[in-house]
């Protein structure tokens, strides 16, 4: 490869800028020309592509969001869109791509590289941590720490009022943010999509507390959990326990923003460096991950198909620690 393009796609995540910086600077170090593709695949379709220099990525390692912007492109889903995108790459001689995003973005990359002769390397950029082939994703650490800080604050007021508090966190179909933030804040209950929710046991526990006039309880709920989120869980509890003082907070997009943590900056820098190295070594259509602190390559196809595996033993441990 001699000219590479880098883009961020799907939901943004803190640390994406650090990854862009690493890709650009590693590429330049090797004498490559590096192009930034704006708004994910949409910018590739619309020819919104800019030349990147070392200074283009100065002073961004500490910033949330993505300087390249991001989007979920409908046009790129169609063959016609991908054809246009490829023509725009060819025009500049771009012969390698680094895609920073989640599984939807990798599916796009897979399709694209199957139809056109272009090597793609993916970096897992998502707060959800729902990727196979890596222990870490860029943005998870920041998002979960933002959730922890917010839940700690909620706990203060919850405790002062002896209330039942339900906090909904993000994660799409995955429960990592809920599980980790729930453990770290000492939540009494954590509801995640990967395990069946025993609502009867929760109601029983709350009723016992109510009898003892000590009904203070923190429930962390993943947005993708079976009841459909925090408000739905609250509805069930309110129906069954009309005297309980229940409040709901949905943390929402606050979890996507903010300065990346040290961990996310380091992970993004590490992965960004290896994205370019692997293109230079002729690796195609792989995701760069980190397993047991070592760089690990997973075929994109496998990364999008295989299910992430959450350590559900934590649910058992959490129940003991919160009892």
Binding residues for ADP: 21-25, 155, 186-188, 212, 214-216
Q: Does 166 bind ligand F6P (CB under 6 A)?
A: no
C-beta of 220: minimal distance to ligand F6P in Å?
Answer: 14
Query: Contacting ligand F6P (CB under 6 A), which of 21, 113, 128, 289?
Result: 128
DSSP state of 138: B
Cα–Cα distance, 42 to 286 (Å, whole number): 22
Task: Using the minimum distance from each CB to ligand F6P, give the nearer residue, 128 or 141.
Answer: 128
Binding site listing for substrate: 126-128, 163, 170-172, 223, 247, 253-256
Query: Contacting ligand F6P (CB under 6 A), which of 256, 265, 270, 308?
Result: 256
Nearest Cα residue to 10 out of 106, 85, 78, 97: 106
User: Look-up: residue for tokens 């600077």?
Assistant: 25
Contact positions with ligand F6P (CB under 6 A) in 214-233: 223
8, 23 contact by CB (below 8 A):
no
Cβ neighbors of 246 (< 8 A, separation 6 or more) are 163, 164, 165, 166, 234, 237, 238
Q: Does 66 bind ligand F6P (CB under 6 A)?
A: no
C-beta of 252: minimal distance to ligand F6P in Å?
Answer: 8
Stretch that binds ligand F6P, among 52-60, 88-96, 120-128, 146-154 (CB under 6 A): 120-128
Q: Is 128 part of the annotated catalytic residue set? A: yes
Q: Does 127 bind ligand F6P (CB under 6 A)?
A: yes
Cα–Cα distance, 235 to 219 (Å, whole number): 13
Cα–Cα distance, 207 to 297 (Å, whole number): 50
Strand partners, 99: 7, 122
C-beta of 72: minimal distance to ligand F6P in Å?
Answer: 7
Cα–Cα distance, 220 to 304 (Å, whole number): 27
> Which of the residues are catalytic?
128
Binding site for ligand F6P (CB under 6 A): 11, 102, 126-128, 170-172, 223, 256
């Amino acid at each position: 490869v001699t000219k590479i393009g880098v883009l961020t796609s799907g939901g943004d995540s803190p640390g994406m800028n650090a990854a862009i910086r690493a890709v650009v600077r590693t590429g330049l170090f090797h004498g490559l020309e590096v192009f930034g593709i704006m708004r994910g695949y949409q910018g590739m379709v619309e020819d919104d592509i800019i030349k990147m220099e070392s200074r283009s990525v100065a002073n961004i390692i500490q910033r949330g969001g993505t300087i390249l912007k991001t989007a979920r492109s409908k046009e790129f889903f169609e063959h016609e869109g991908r054809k246009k995108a490829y023509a725009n790459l060819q025009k500049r001689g771009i012969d390698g791509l680094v895609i920073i995003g989640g599984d939807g973005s990798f599916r796009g990359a897979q399709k694209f590289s199957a139809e056109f002769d272009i090597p793609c390397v993916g970096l897992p950029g998502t707060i959800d941590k729902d990727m196979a082939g890596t222990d870490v994703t860029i943005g998870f650490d920041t998002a979960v720490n933002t959730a922890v800080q917010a839940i700690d604050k909620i706990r203060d007021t919850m405790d002062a009022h002896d209330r039942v508090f339900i906090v909904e966190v993000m994660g799409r179909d995955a429960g990592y943010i809920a599980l980790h933030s729930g453990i770290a804040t000492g939540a009494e209950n954590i509801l995640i999509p990967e395990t069946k929710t025993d609502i009867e046991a929760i109601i029983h526990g709350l009723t016992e507390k109510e009898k003892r006039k000590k009904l203070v309880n923190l429930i962390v709920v993943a947005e993708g959990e079976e009841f459909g989120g925090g408000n739905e869980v609250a509805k069930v509890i309110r129906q069954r326990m009309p005297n309980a003082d229940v409040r709901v907070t949905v943390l929402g997009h606050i979890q996507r923003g903010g300065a990346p943590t040290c961990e996310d900056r380091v992970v993004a820098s590490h992965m960004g460096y290896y994205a370019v190295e692997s293109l230079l070594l002729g690796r195609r259509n792989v995701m760069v991950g980190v397993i047991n602190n070592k760089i690990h390559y997973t075929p994109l196809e496998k990364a999008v198909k295989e299910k992430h595996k959450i350590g559900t033993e934590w649910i058992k441990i959490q129940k003991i620690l919160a009892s």
